[in-house]
Amino acid sequence: MKIDAYDTATLGGRANRALSGDNQSAGRQTLSSRQSDTAAPAAKPGATDGASVDAGPIFTVGWGDSKSALSATHLSTLTAAGMVAADADFGKLQFGLGDLFVESSLAVMGLHDAARASALADFQSSNSIAPVVEGYVAIDATALDGNGAALLAQLEALGFEGGIAYGALVGGYIPLSAIDDLAALANLNFARPAYSMASAGSVQSQNVFSGNADLVQNHYGLDGSGVKIGFISDSFNTATLTTTGAALTIHYAQDVASGDLPAGVEVLLDSTLAQNRDEGRAMMQLAHDIAPGATLSFHTAQGGQAVFAAGIQALADAGAHIIVDDIIYFAEPMFQDGIIAQAVDAVTTGGVQYFSSAGNQAQRSYESVFRDSGETFTANGITYRLHDFDPGAGIDSTQLMSQTGSVIYDLQWAQSFFSASGVGGNSDLALIFRQTNGTVITIIDSNNINADALELAQLNGNGSFTLSIGVDPVGTNPTFIKYVTFGGTWSASEYATNSSTSFGHSNAAGAIGVAAADWFNTPAFGQTPPLGENFTSRGGQQIYFDTDGNALATPETRTTVDITMADGGNNTFFGSDISSDLDTLPNFYGTSAAAPNAAAIAALLLQAAPNATPAQIQAALETTAIDIQALATGRPTHNIGVLTGTGYDIDTGWGLIQADAALEALIGARATAVGETTQVRENVTVSGNLIANDIVASGGQSAVVRSVNGDVITFGTPITLPSGALLTVNSDGTYTYDPNHKFDYLIKNTLAIQLGAANGYVPDTFTYGLVGGSTATVTVMVRGLEGPGDELHGNGANNVITGTTANDIFNLSQGGDDTVSGLVGNDLFYFGAAMTAADRVNGGGHTDTLVLQGNYSAGLTFAATSLVSIERINLLSGSDTSFRDTAGNSYSYVITTVDGNVASGAQLIVDAKPLGATETLNFDGSAETNGTFVLRGGEGNDTMVGGQGNDQFAGRGGADIFRFFADSGQDLITDFLSGTDRIDLSQRGFLDYQAVIDATQNVGGNAVIDLGGGDLVTLRGVTKAQLQSGDFIYASPAAQGAAAGDLLMGSGGWGGDLFLAPVGSGTTGHDNLVFDTGGFASHWMADTAPDQWTDWQIGLQRHDIHLF
């Protein structure tokens, strides 16, 4: 029924939004204000909306259509102002398009032309998802005669921009001020706003790992080079706000600078709609992580279905091998392939692979054969025949449901779409929303005869209500009906069918519909088998009509959804961060994220097999996918006819795709690497062939070497192995191995057996990897020869090794309690970090050296047998690699000798000069009675204590401490730095600086400190006048008791503490003399009046003397 705006006092064919002066700011009114024309139905038994009836409706209508009228006041007002075209037929304008005209016209009424144009450019509709931008609205318009090109020419005369014709459908942007002229076009069948939705959720991408794309990248060297991927979404680089509503600060230029996208992305057409969030660019970021070498192109889907369909063809014409999208138009047919699905099939027939997000609607749908309940509902002069929701013997013409937020209801029935085929339907249906008490919320009823079998509504609010589906008597009853809901939250309280929700072009025969699984619910992150997202749309939508509008003999059930891919990965700007990962980057959720990940994996496959057809790539992905048997909520996936089980299901398709397995299915099984062992002398280069014994399956991949020890190789270029040997690999798998003098320390095996050493030969190993990822280890047994540089090695056991009469090098760094003898010669004993008191080293004659290299900060105290006839200890830095230690370490040493480690009259040099600024030496030689030390620190803060002989100290760098006990001998400090280094005299009774100065004199330009008892400390190059108070550590004053029961405590230290309880002054009694912290030697405790045995003393360490 079409209503002429000038023959009636009402404006038909629009959403029921009465924009009177009283509610103009809100812009919304429900049909509850027109109950005089409406039969009052009974309330739903047992239903409650959570609000009292007296409170009024709890729902408002976002947009829709009703054959009821808007207020005549607005029409007459606009007509009187000359703002309505004389021949406008607003019945042709569907789903709120007429409302946009009325709302925008009222907003600028009375303004002069320039101000009006400016106001329209800034106009913001109360319809929050209306595709309005700068005074234009995106529409889909259908030519009555099927000639979209001719209609486009007429629209362009009205100021239509960005117009594209595709069959009978035209998409583009009409000025808001020209909507009434649009309604006056004789060749216009109907027009509606181009409402669409992306399949994004609310929130180097983890998806690279979930689909094993990393294995294909690493093992095959694939990055998508040579493959072009086309992306279709809302926008690429025009958004101003993020998905959370904040100002967007990361744009394409920032993506290029950060490496998240390449320079030179091709943009065929972008969109500037206010709702845009640059989701297309976020999709590209995900795909670029997986296929960083692929060429990227973009075309917006915004502007109507014709723009979308034309964009598919434009990307194909621009050379795209793969196209992926994440947009659904609500007006796409469910039971027929619309123009977007037809465009998909056209390019896939031409060899393009097409991926589409399956959607995020879970099972939010209802479908049924239409059953006439025999009940009717009358409103606005129309008596609707109502559908019976009860599939049993009962009759129920309402369905109880609930929602929160803003929900879109997409009702369709199994009749041909005029916009898809030029053949319209013969039924006219309506959505009737009522409160649970029967009060009408709204009736959505556009003109469907010879048009599209479609009704759309947006309902805003929270609570329960009922839905009836009515048939206008102007048309016949449909055979099959279905609705899908979008947005907010929604559930049916009764008669739920949980049917398919993935429809439109993602259900096209040539499309691959992609479901989603959260990345952390995949095997790569510990979840086996993987779990699908609980929101991913259900497939299984049936097709009833061909593209010419002819009914199929049997409805076709498409096996879409096809596959699943991970979502939720990182990008730089789209979505919100989640707590499941450890970073702060936004996570992109939804099948909008899953689809580009799948497309990027296909790009890797196509690079490896450039002649593969889309069908072959799809088969490879599907046949190797990991089966998904449940969604993240624990609900089982729905196999056709079965609620559990394995194989294809309509929720997640064939399962989670795996790039590596799919590639093998496409190009053949990978070759298997087989290891080998070979031998070589330490001074000989050996040749071989790595792939000679590898296993190649029939029809499988050839064996091609790709990596050594995990690193991709360059054929013909020498590789330095960890051992230092050189390996060169050629493209045919042949190789040469050069020991490179790194094994000159080896000895002849016969000599090794004779001496007890373990290094007659040593294995050197490397691992090579084939293209495809198979790896194997090659072992080269390097055998020794007698010659310069030979070493005698242990093997980690308790080795007993005897050297030769030559200058031997012993390497005992392998561990074990070793016993080694150097015999004569200048021998070197390298223990690395493995020296313990249980090791026994006898240097024999000549000058022998012990070398330590490791972290000895826990302390190493030599036993008497640990060092015999050793003249030197060298301490190596963590940066020293001369004994094949790895560089970059930091080592510190705490070493204590015992009396006997230095022979009587002998000297032991302890050299820490190689140590860096962060490495330290703490050496205690105080137990030595008849030998001497030469102690050399490093660049760190060292502490050194000599023995009773005449020792030499050199602190070198750092703030060093030189500590002296009783009987320390006449010692020399060669490089004392006043103001930095310190001399510890706390054990020698010096209480303050004056006492030290009094005991110091200059001798030959050197300060000499007399410690008493014949002990001296000479400071070379330092005079008495240069000394400072802070250069010394002093003794603490003696503690004295004052009364009975005193507890006398000293801070202790290295020895020499005196605790005295003298006679008198109340010092008799139960005195407790406690040396608590102890030191190394000579603590004196004296009670001069011990009156009872209850006096007690505690001394720690050794040489504590108690006097009573």
- Give the per-residue pLDDT at 1: 20
CA distance 519 to 568: 6
Residue 1108 lies in a domain: no
Co-location of 378 and 487 in the same domain = yes
pLDDT tens digits for range 1031-1069: 999 999 864 443 344 444 443 434 444 444 333 333 333
Structure-token pair, residue 887: 């560089």
CATH number of the domain where residue 188 is located? 3.30.70
Residue 1021, pLDDT above cutoff 80: yes
Q: Would residue 1012 count as lying in a domain?
A: no
516 domain residue, yes or no? yes
pLDDT at 584: 76
For 343, the enclosing helix (H) or strand (E) is helix 339-349
Domain end: 913, 942, 963, which one? 963
For residue 445, the domain's CATH number is: 2.60.120.380
Average pLDDT of 1057-1082?
38
Residue 20 domain-assigned (yes or no): no
Neighbour count for residue 179 (Cβ, 10 Å): 27
Structure token pair of residue 229? 């991927």
Mind listing the pLDDT tens digit for each residue in 715-760? Answer: 999 999 999 999 999 999 999 999 999 998 878 787 777 788 877 8
pLDDT of 788:
75
pLDDT at 1096 over 70: no
The DSSP string of 915-967 is --TT--EEEE-TT-SS-EEEEE--SS--EEE--SS--EEE--SS--EEE--TT
Instruction: Locate 989 and state its tokens.
Output: 């009774």
Pair (280, 385) in one structural domain = no
Residue 197 has a pLDDT of 82
pLDDT of res. 199: 66
CATH number at residue 758: 2.60.40
Note whether 31 and 38 are within 8 A (CB). Answer: yes
* 8 A C-beta contact, residue 529 and residue 628: yes
| Per-residue model confidence as pLDDT tens digits over 4-32 | 222 222 222 222 222 222 222 222 222 22
236 and 255 Cβ atoms separated by less than 8 Å: no
Summarised one tens digit per residue, pLDDT across range 151-176 is: 999 999 999 999 999 999 999 999 99
- Is 318 in the same domain as 414? no
The pLDDT tens digits for 891-932 are 999 999 999 999 999 999 999 999 999 999 999 999 999 999
* pLDDT on residue 1088: 39
The CA distance from 166 to 177, in Å, is: 25
1036 domain-assigned = no
Last residue of a domain, one of 617, 651, 666: 666
**Amino acid (1-letter code) at residue 791:** E
Give the model's pLDDT for residue 582. 66
CATH of the domain at 536: 3.40.50.200
- pLDDT for 760: 81
**Which residue in 393, 402, 320 sits closest to 603, CA to CA?**
320
Tell me the C-alpha to C-alpha distance, in Å, between residue 1095 and each of 46, 1044, 1077, 1085.
Answer: 92, 10, 20, 11
Q: Which region among 82-86, 127-131, 206-210, 740-744 has the lowest average model confidence (pLDDT)?
A: 206-210
Is residue 1059 in a domain? no
Give the chain's mean pLDDT: 85
758 and 647 together in one domain: no
Q: What is the pLDDT of residue 5?
A: 24
Going by pLDDT thresholds of 50, 70 and 90, the confidence category of residue 972 is very high
Beta bridge partners of 1091: none
Residue 187 sits in the same domain as residue 243: no
Pairwise pLDDT comparison (479 vs 242), residue with the higher score: 479
Reduced to 3 states (helix: H, G, I; strand: E, B; else coil), residue 74 is helix
- Based on the fold, state whether residues 484 and 560 are members of the same structural domain: no
pLDDT, one tens digit per residue, over 371-398 is 999 999 999 899 999 999 999 999 999 9
In the DSSP assignment, the letter for residue 1025 is G
Q: Is the pLDDT of residue 527 over 70?
A: yes
Sorting pLDDT into bands at 50, 70 and 90, what band is 2? Answer: very low
Distance, first Cα to last Cα, the chain: 123
The answer to whether residue 63 scores a pLDDT higher than 70 is no
Please give the backbone phi and psi of residue 879, each rounded to the nearest 5 degrees, phi first.
-95, 0
Question: What is the reported pLDDT for 585?
Answer: 85
pLDDT of residue 206: 60
pLDDT of residue 668: 93
- Closest CA relative to residue 451, chosen from 102, 6, 2: 2
Q: What is the largest CA-CA distance in the chain?
A: 130
Q: The tokens of 390 are what?
A: 């009860």
**Cα separations (Å) of 1088 from 989, 1051, 1095, 1103, 1106?**
21, 22, 11, 20, 11
Total structural domains in the chain?
5
Would you say residue 382 lies in a domain?
yes
Q: What percent of the chain stands above pLDDT 90?
A: 67
| Domain identity same for 374 and 341 | no
Same-domain check for residues 839 and 956: yes
Task: Quickly list DSSP for 584-644.
Answer: -S-EE-SHHHHHHHHHHHHHHHHHH-TT--HHHHHHHHHHTPBP--BBTTSPBP-BTTBSS
Q: Is residue 1102 part of a domain?
A: no
Does residue 805 share a domain with residue 954? yes
Q: Kindly report whether the global pTM for this prediction surpasses the value 0.85.
A: no
Among the listed residues 695, 420, 663, the one whose alpha carbon sits nearest the alpha carbon of residue 550: 420
Residue of higher predicted confidence among 273 and 283: 283
pLDDT at position 64: 58
Residue 653's pLDDT is what? Answer: 94
Co-location of 434 and 519 in the same domain = no
Could you give the dihedral angle defined by the CA atoms of residues 312, 317, 320 and 324, in that order, rounded to the nearest 10 degrees?
A: 0
pLDDT at position 244: 82
> How sure is the predictor about 804, in pLDDT bands with cuts at 50, 70 and 90?
confident
Residues 6+ apart with CB under 8 A from 599: 229, 287, 322, 323, 324, 353, 355
pLDDT value of residue 73:
62
Of the three residues 193, 219, 249, the one that is the final residue of a domain is 193
What amino acid occupies position 1085?
A: M
Domain that holds residue 84: 78-193
User: What would the mean pLDDT of 922-947 be, rounded to a whole number?
Assistant: 98
In this predicted structure, the answer to whether residue 34 has a pLDDT above a threshold of 70 is: no
In a shared domain, residues 581 and 620? yes
As a dihedral over the C-alpha atoms of residue 330, residue 198, residue 15, residue 95, rounded to 10 degrees, the angle is: -40
Tell me if 17 sits within 8 A of 29, measured CB to CB. yes
- 629 and 528 in one domain? yes
